[in-house]
Structure 1
Amino acid sequence: MFDLQIPWLTAIILFPLVTAFAIPLIPDKEGKTVRWYALGVSLLNFTLTIYAFSNQYNFDTVDFQLSETYAWVPQIGLNWSVGIDGLSMPLIVLSGLITNLALLGSWNIDRKPRLFYFLMLVLYSAQIGVFAAQDLLLFFIMWELELVPVYLLISIWGGQKRLYAATKFILYTALASIFILVSALALAFYGDTVTFDMAQLGRKEFPLALEILAYAGFFVAFAVKMPIFPLHTWLPDAHSEAPAGVSMILAGVLLKMGGYGLIRCNIEMLPHAHIKFAPLLVILGVINIVYGAFTAFAQTNLKRRLASSSISHMGFVLIGIASFSELGMNGAVLQMLSHGLIAAALFFLCGTTYERTHTLMMDEMGGLGKQMPKTFALFTAASMASLALPGMSGFVAELTVFLGIAESDAYSTAFKTGVIFLTAVGLILTPIYLLSMLRVVFYGQNNSELTLPKFQLDAKPREIFITSCLLIPIIVIGLYPKLAMTTYDIKTVEVATKVRSVLSVFAQQKQVNNELASTVLVAPEID
């Protein structure tokens, strides 16, 4: 038996990072050994994650588990403090699954393979570190660490405009990250005690003005990451130039960090400010859904169309987070997990199509369905999941968000009706732009110059395996959503209950103030 005192979470975070530094020592000219090494490290780490979570994690408590705290830089109050709960655990599993598949999907990287796989392993560690950090300063460090590999992966292995896309990505995300640091420092140094511990910060009493300022700071950083209109313009450029494996992680995991941060920092630590900002979040969520859907129509680049689709789908996360209902919060987390799987599948298939056609312009393709029937079938299945076909995870997630905002008593009936109507417009547009994408790429006359034999064009066993590993959980969650919801249901209920209680106190106080004001207005004059 394994020693139960093993620091599981620290080992899971640091293992990919530490082992990545052995890559330069591997004698390998063509990169074949390096890619097997990187995949082996990633698979082993994912196996350790599943083992630790299945044997050490208790689904019946909202407390942080596998918690570990070590003094790191005590002079500035920085601790290596990590732990997981129902919110972070499923996202760490998602990170592991998609990273492994992205490494397998990057099997044909032949330019600077050592650096490529080194950066992918560092990125894997940073992803887990963001979701596991319980020290706000450590959270910021992991958030920044994740930016560097993505920038290099796009700028070195991207398309023709890779430097522009990578520079735009780093400028947006790095500048926005400063707001995390400023907000963290403001919260940590307020009061008699200085602490970056997220749990302690959640119990601190802050003035409403400070909460609002800190909330706004966090929101800017997380809004860029999700991304939220109008801070979204870096995403289509990054996706259109990034290699397929990087796009899988970018869409499948990194965008979810924004939603995770909103729940972990904005709602749990700043519930009073969340009440003020929640209507704005709902409005921005609706704008994301409708704007992203309309923008997708204008895109003739396959990856840019899928990137616009991601912007649209992340709007549901915003609406669920701001719904003040347990059901809406459940739907927001489920949407993050669902979209992570669906987007990773679509961007991987987009990459396989590009390898055959050497173009991302849809009007230069056409008629690929006859030459690539397996790819066509997989692309169609992933697109059906993205347009929320019943029986797939996207349908359950978006329906749950719909029901969550509809049952919320925090908003007026007129407001909810407008939100539901406009969101429904976005839902109607989604199948139109996705089905038109399939029609242009796979139907009609072949416009591409494909001279390879048919058996070399279509999806190979490795590519079918990668896509199947994403489609299977999409279908399983769609048919039995409780399987996914069980992992985080208790946590989302706790978060929703907390903000609802604060909202109730706020409403009662507002009613008392109104009654006092009316009493003063009608009080008789005294001589």
Structure 2
Amino acid sequence: MLTDQLPWLTAIIAFPLVAALAIPVIPDKDGKTLRWYALGVGIIDLAMILSMATAQYDFHALGFQLVETYPWLPQLGLNWSVGVDGISLPLVILTGFVNTLAIFAAWRVERKPRLFYGLMLALYSAQLGVFMAKDLLLFFTLWELELVPVYLLISIWGGPKRLYAATKFILYTALASLFILVAGLGLAFWGDRTTFDLAELAQKDYPIGLELLAYAGFLIAFAVKLPIFPLHTWLPDAHGEASAPVSMVLAGVLLKMGGYGLIRMNLDILPHAHIQFAPLLVILGVVNIVYGAFTAFGQTNLKRRLAYSSISHMGFVLIGIASFTDLGMNGAMLQMVSHGLIAAALFFLAGVAYDRTHTLMMDEMSGLGKAMPKVFALFTAGSMASLALPGMSGFVSELTVFLGLSSSAAYSTSFKTVVVFLAAVGLILTPIYLLSMLREVFYGQPTEELTPNRWQWDANPREVFIALCLLLPIVGIGLYPKLAMDSYDGQTVAVAAKVRAALPVVAQGKTAVGLASVPLTAPQLD
């Protein structure tokens, strides 16, 4: 139905894309007008998001709010239906924040600036649409549209192996996305009424066989995006070749789409199947943490080391999602927000160092600490946040995930002990590879090739401003996590409660219709 209120969400989603369409006709000779125009669009849209969150959104209500539904292609059952709830709102704010700073970080783009800024704004709209889509077909459509700008941004403005990295990215993500469509169609056509509305899909009663198949399909698609081992190999290549602004968006927002999809589709719509897959998610989360940390050691490329660090940190999201507890779910959401800020800051600063040295090889960047003291200080602060230093957001989010799993009654004590021990190994490895990264890049004697003009290399005021904009909320959330948790706590608690309510049903032996006529079992209770 049509909403009586102003179409806030449609305006927020459409504004960057509509503004991008005007870029080809904007008069500009030196690129400066385009820079300010794109940045202005980002700031205005971020202001609209914050205004919506503070003036229109009710933090105490559950379910989708500010819903706008308009017929789009009724013959195909496709509606423009958007809304926000506690799961999507913090990620919408994160999207606006990171994308606006990424546009500001792209101040020195000289090659095809019209196309670059147009693609950045189009990507901005697509990401917002994914997080606000209330219709499954609309979600899939925007999920696919988001891939095109990323592919072009890597393949045109990337490094020497940009075509390989961009092609690998599009093949992995586009092919995996088809599983969203197949699983979604299966759920939509089940029962007496065909619907693609996410809230209505969550109310349907599916046979466990269909739930398991749909869950597996969604899991494959979101595992590529998150990414989950072994479907992660596109990420280091993409980060290694992408420009710094694109890496900021890739690590800060796009990876979070995988975690968001797991909560929105796999948990909220398919709670019975989630109970069956949850132990696997915990195991995959531990593998991500340990594998990502160990592999980061072997990387001599700065951005590839940070990419494997991201893979490791996203393992905590999986563990939190699979914990069956309110704390675990809250920790997973907080980890997505926290990592989005931390990763964006680190990849931006890596780009600042690359702009001066024209290399990402850490052994060729040694001794930058004296030449770039501001970058050194900011990079150190970001690394401390990434290794979960107390007082920063990474510490709170990872601790909350640990507590959530440890307090879960759905797993045996021995299973939880092994998981916590292995995850702790990853936590121990994280400061080692991050501190060794700082040592290689900023300490020691500079190489002869990088010696001339080193003393004019430090971060300029614009770059310091961007880094501080990312680091300040990291510290703010670390000192006062309620600042972020209040935006999603009610909704994540409701989703966790829905999954726990399904535990007795599965434990009593809900039959796997369509797969096997054998009873299924829930995770072991103590």
- Please report the TM-score for the alignment, with normalisation by the length of structure 1: 0.95
1:106 aligned partner: 106
Matches of 1:4 and 1:396 in 2, distance apart? Answer: 40
Q: Is 1:357–1:449's contact at 8 Å kept on the other side of the alignment? A: no
Q: SS at the partner of 2:190? A: coil
- C-alpha displacement at 1:191, in angstroms? 1.4
Matches of 1:414 and 1:262 in 2, distance apart? Answer: 26
2:313 aligned partner: 313
Q: SS at the partner of 1:101? A: helix
- C-alpha displacement at 1:455, in angstroms? 4.8
Structure 1 gap ranges (5+): 511-516, 518-527
Q: SS at the partner of 1:445? A: coil
Matches of 1:103 and 1:337 in 2, distance apart? Answer: 19
- Structure 1 residues 145-294: aligned runs within 5 Å: 145-294=145-294
Q: Deviations over 1:30-58 (max 9, x none)?
A: 22111111111111111111111110011
1:338 aligned partner: 338
1:450 aligned partner: 450
Q: Is 1:176–1:220's contact at 8 Å kept on the other side of the alignment? A: yes
2:50 aligned partner: 50
- C-alpha displacement at 1:447, in angstroms? 1.7
Q: Deviations over 1:379-404 (max 9, x none)?
A: 00000000000000000000000000
Structure 2 gap ranges (5+): 511-518, 520-526
Q: Deviations over 1:229-279 (max 9, x none)?
A: 000000000000000000000000000000000000000001110000000
Q: Which amino acid aligns with 1:119?
A: L
1:61 aligned partner: 61
1:17 aligned partner: 17
Q: Is 1:317–1:335's contact at 8 Å kept on the other side of the alignment? A: yes
Alignment of 1:422 with 2:408, yes or no, is no
- C-alpha displacement at 1:67, in angstroms? 0.6
Q: Deviations over 1:62-107 (max 9, x none)?
A: 1211110011100010010000001100100000000010000000
Matches of 1:356 and 1:16 in 2, distance apart? Answer: 31
Q: Which amino acid aligns with 2:445?
A: Q
Q: Deviations over 1:202-234 (max 9, x none)?
A: 011111011100000000000000000000000
Q: SS at the partner of 2:138? A: helix
- C-alpha displacement at 1:454, in angstroms? 4.6
Matches of 1:152 and 1:353 in 2, distance apart? Answer: 24
Matches of 2:195 and 2:508 in 1, distance apart? Answer: 32
Alignment length, in residue pairs? Answer: 509
Q: Deviations over 1:111-161 (max 9, x none)?
A: 000000000000000010000000000000010010000000000000000
1:91 aligned partner: 91
- Please report the TM-score for the alignment, with normalisation by the length of structure 2: 0.95
Q: SS at the partner of 2:13? A: helix
Q: Is 1:289–1:423's contact at 8 Å kept on the other side of the alignment? A: yes
Matches of 1:322 and 1:255 in 2, distance apart? Answer: 18
Matches of 1:42 and 1:451 in 2, distance apart? Answer: 38
The percentage of aligned residue pairs carrying the same residue is: 73
- More deviation in 363-372 or 227-236? 363-372
Q: Which amino acid aligns with 2:26?
A: I
- C-alpha displacement at 1:508, in angstroms? 4.4
1:525 aligned partner: none
Q: SS at the partner of 2:69? A: strand
Matches of 2:463 and 2:317 in 1, distance apart? Answer: 30
Q: Is 1:365–1:448's contact at 8 Å kept on the other side of the alignment? A: no
* Structure with bigger gyration radius: 1
Matches of 2:105 and 2:280 in 1, distance apart? Answer: 39
Alignment of 1:327 with 2:335, yes or no, is no
- C-alpha displacement at 1:405, in angstroms? 0.3
1:392 aligned partner: 392
| Larger relative helix fraction | 1
Q: Is 1:87–1:491's contact at 8 Å kept on the other side of the alignment? A: yes
Matches of 1:366 and 1:23 in 2, distance apart? Answer: 41
- More deviation in 50-59 or 445-454? 445-454
Matches of 1:240 and 1:9 in 2, distance apart? Answer: 34
Q: Is 2:371–2:456's contact at 8 Å kept on the other side of the alignment? A: no
